Amino acid sequence: MTDTKPLPAQIAAPSPLGVYVHFPFCITKCTYCAFVTRSYTAEQATRYVAALEAELHHFHDTCAAFPLAFATYQADTLYFGGGTPSRMTPAQLARLLAACRATFDFLPEAEVTLEFNPGDANPERLEAYRNLGINRLSLGVQSFSDQDLLVTGRDHTADAARQAVRTARQVGFENISLDLIAGLPGQTLETWRMNLLEALALAPEHLSLYLLEVKPGTILARQLATGHLPLLDDDLAAEMYLLALEILGQAGFEAYEISNFARPGYRARHNMKYWTDLPYAAFGVGAHGYDGCERYWNTEKLEAYFTAIDHQHHAIIGRTQRTWHERWQEALMLGLRLEEGIDLARLRTNYGIDLLQAYPLTVQELQAAGLLKVTDTRICLTPRGRLFSNEVFVAFL
């Protein structure tokens, strides 16, 4: 298929933006981490917050200069990710929140998320964050086994994670998400079951469960390559995923995305923008943004970021407008990650592709293999299809 279709300026009618702010500093480097992070120092953090303020304040000028086709400055989600954004002092976070609110028109019901390291939890800090307007916490627990935490280089204990959730509740947080990793070296089906039950005992509103990905260049990749740690068995990984579906389903969580589970009404609204092809602005070193048609990204080098903000008030080093073919394929791949799958009429309207007519044999074969559920209006992955989602994506792409 060739890219002969015109590219509209915006995929759909303007919708409120998501806003992502990256804080790259960490006290320690997790062995599995491949994100843009730097070692924390108070001096660097102070300099970085000032640079972020400048980048935010000049966002409107940046859009006009490139130009990025943001159709609105209204926003309904704000996400502070990292790195470890909970290393920010309340005063630093207050400055960034003020800059965000000066740049964007946030709706009253906006979701404001902060990624939080359990080791940073204390009542005063959490209460200050809550008073500033943070209304959702995403805690990087990863495991309730101290041995797992030691192997992965986390700087908190399982008890610290439990206490962090309790403290967050005490100061008024009503929307808490926990991250857990399946497939850590030495992890068994029973220890994974223990992790799920421990998480449920803390009554979170949301859980993100990730199968360990070994990224090239990480400490973990080197440890596995040299045989210092055992590799995960693919069959065991599948069992872990099915166990999570069973246990969390019984506890009332919807498996609304391949790796994400929520109680009704508590889906991660910011992340839903990624999966439903909606626009989001992004700030900070290594941050990636999307205006509904064009993707752009900032430099990953910290000193280059500081220099760029000082001289041109932005740090964008690249942008790309996706072709028609890339756009509908990405929409398909991301949409299939969601429990409800793909709305075939929306795919036709927004991307000009009739999937059932364009790929009749592929759809039939995947359906016959028990990987796809197909109706006249939607296609979605079956539970088995979730296990083999990459194979499904490849069949279309």
**Overall residue count recorded for the chain in this entry:** 397
The residues facing 114 across adjacent strands are 80, 137
Is 88 a domain residue? yes
Is 1 a domain residue? no
Q: Give the pairing of strands 176-182 and 136-142.
A: parallel
The pTM score is 0.91
Q: Is 42 exposed, middle or buried (0-12, 13-18, 19+ CB in 10 A)?
A: exposed
Is 313 a domain residue? no
Is 59 a domain residue? yes
Look up the domain containing 149 and give its range: 17-275
Among candidate residues 233, 257, 275, the one where a domain is terminated:
275
Q: Which residue ranges of the chain lie beneath pLDDT 50?
A: 1-12
CB 120 within 8 A of CB 84: yes
- The confidence score (pLDDT) of residue 2 equals 41
What is the rounded distance in angstroms from the CA atom of residue 156 to the CA atom of residue 169? 19
- 24 DSSP assignment: -
One domain, residues 257 and 331: no
- The confidence score (pLDDT) of residue 177 equals 98
The total number of structural domains in the chain stands at 2
**CATH code, domain carrying 378:** 1.10.10.920
In degrees and rounded to multiples of 5, residue 51 shows phi and psi of -65, -40
- For the chain, how are helix, strand and coil distributed in percent, rounded to 5? 45, 20, 35
Tally: H helices and E strands in the chain = 17, 17
One domain, residues 125 and 189: yes
- The confidence score (pLDDT) of residue 351 equals 87
Is 316 a domain residue? no
What is the rounded distance in angstroms from the CA atom of residue 72 to the CA atom of residue 217? 39
**CATH code, domain carrying 226:** 3.20.20.70
One domain, residues 266 and 331: no
Tokens standing for residue 55: 């980048």
